[in-house]
């Protein structure tokens, strides 16, 4: 009888610990994945290009560089987006529609920011 009470307490304690630690384990796993994802974001076009050279296929390189160019565009780092897209078109896939679109958008935003500077306004950050 005493053994049953001890086993019951152990099981209750284990269940309580699991309820508390399970969310912590899930949170830790998600946080780790997010950090890994952020760590793979290049800080410059040259870094992105260098990393792309370590990838095995042209498709992987293209996909990676498009993602990086979009990230530069989102961060209003237009010159890095232009450089990345130009490299992709010149060295990996001359027909990449995504790279062409990014290139057009980044150049338009650079031109807009240049006009803003010329007219005394503040640019969005691209210059």
3-class secondary structure for the chain? CHHHHHHHHHHHHHHHHHHHHHHHHHHHHHHHHHHHHHHCCCCCHHHHHHHHCCCCCHHHHHHHHHHHHHHHHHCCCHHHHHHHHHHHHHHCCCCCHHHHHHHHHHHHHHHHHHHHHHCCCCCCCCC
Per residue in 99-115, pLDDT (tens digit) is: 999 999 999 999 999 89
Is pLDDT above 70 for 29? no
Is pLDDT above 90 for 28? no
Per residue in 2-23, pLDDT (tens digit) is: 555 656 676 666 665 556 556 6
Which is more confident, 122 or 2? 122
Per residue in 32-61, pLDDT (tens digit) is: 444 344 446 899 999 999 999 999 999 999
């Amino acid at each position: 009888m005493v053994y049953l009470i001890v086993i019951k307490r152990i099981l209750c304690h284990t269940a309580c610990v699991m309820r508390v630690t399970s969310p912590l384990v899930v949170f830790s796993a998600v946080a780790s994945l997010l950090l890994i994802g952020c760590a793979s974001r290049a800080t410059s076009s040259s870094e992105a290009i260098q990393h792309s050279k370590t990838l095995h296929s042209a498709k992987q390189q293209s996909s990676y560089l498009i993602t990086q160019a979009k990230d530069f565009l989102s961060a209003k780092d237009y010159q890095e987006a232009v450089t990345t897209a130009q490299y992709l078109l010149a060295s990996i896939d001359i027909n990449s529609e995504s790279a062409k679109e990014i290139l057009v958008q980044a150049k338009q935003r650079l031109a807009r920011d240049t006009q803003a500077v010329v007219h005394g306004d503040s640019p969005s950050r691209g210059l």
